[in-house]
Amino acid sequence: MEVQAASKKSRKKTVEKRRPLIIAGPCSAESEDQLLQIAGKLAAGKRTDFFRAGIWKPRTRPGNFEGVGNTGLRWLQRVKEETGMRTATEVATTTHVYEALKYGIDCLWIGARTTANPFATQEIANALRGADVMVCLKNPVNPDPALWLGAIERISDAGIQKIIAIHRGFSSYGKTRYRNMPQWAIPLWLKKQVPGLPIICDPSHIAGKRELVPHIARRSVFLGFDGLMIEVHHEPSKALSDAGQQLTPEAFERLMAGKFRNSSYL
């Protein structure tokens, strides 16, 4: 599925609804065997458009698993060769961009912490200039819709044609039901500001608990989102990052075969 973000001149135009874009895979690339196992199961289900895996992991505090780095790019290359699925990973620096493009990564996403920093986003935009790649931008960690829109505009101004916004919820202090509060009004505001911009939902990061992921996914469909980014791990309890919010491939398949795909929106 190829999607186009609206340019500044065409933002008032609407686009035809298409089947939902699905980006799925583990939070982090942990080993080549892990990626190939998960990718094989997702490819067999034929529901995943892009296989995602983080290889550079910006953690809140040092000492946690921070990714395998460039080694993971070779693993993603092999996933693409063996399954035919396109690949996606997060970039947070210009070096990440150059390395990911060198290894033929099809989709780059900019994380919530990076989107919140206009200096970092502009540097990434500069590095992307002239590239033919899909770029996804997660909402900033804080509920600032103008900051999200500004990041999207920076990437668009760099000449990137395929842009997607990802709603992953917003940080809050204290104990809440969700890891990140959805605050649905903000992505719906963005949808009105840029009617031609596809917006997909990341229910894994909103929910924080795998049992809540289907609820958030279905809610996003009801609200008219254009797809999902979901974390999937063959052994979620052993995952090196975000173990509590990743679905098994079997649970992912049940979600895709159930109410999500059968929604009247689709």
At 151-208, the pLDDT tens digits run 999 999 999 999 999 999 999 888 889 999 999 999 999 999 999 999 999 999 999 9
CA 266, CA 264: separation in Å to the nearest integer?
5
Long-range contacts of 6-9 (CB under 8 A, 24+ apart): 6/194, 6/195, 6/196, 6/197, 7/156, 8/153, 8/156
Long-range contacts of 98-105 (CB under 8 A, 24+ apart): 98/127, 99/70, 99/73, 100/73, 101/131, 101/133, 102/73, 103/73, 103/74, 103/76, 103/77, 104/77, 104/80, 105/73, 105/76, 105/133
The answer to whether 165 and 135 have CB atoms below 8 angstroms apart is no
Residue 46 C-alpha from the chain's centroid: 18
Residue 116: pLDDT over 70: yes
Task: Give 75-103 pLDDT, tens digit per residue.
Answer: 999 999 999 999 999 999 999 999 999 99
Residue 15: pLDDT over 70: no
The answer to whether 159 and 204 have CB atoms below 8 angstroms apart is no
- For 20-262, which CATH class? alpha beta
Which among 131, 148, 145, 150 has a CA at the least distance from the CA of 185?
145
Domain segments of the chain: what residues? 20-262
Asked whether the whole model's pTM tops 0.75, one would answer yes
At 18, the pLDDT band (50, 70, 90 cuts) reads low
Q: What is the mean pLDDT of the chain?
A: 90
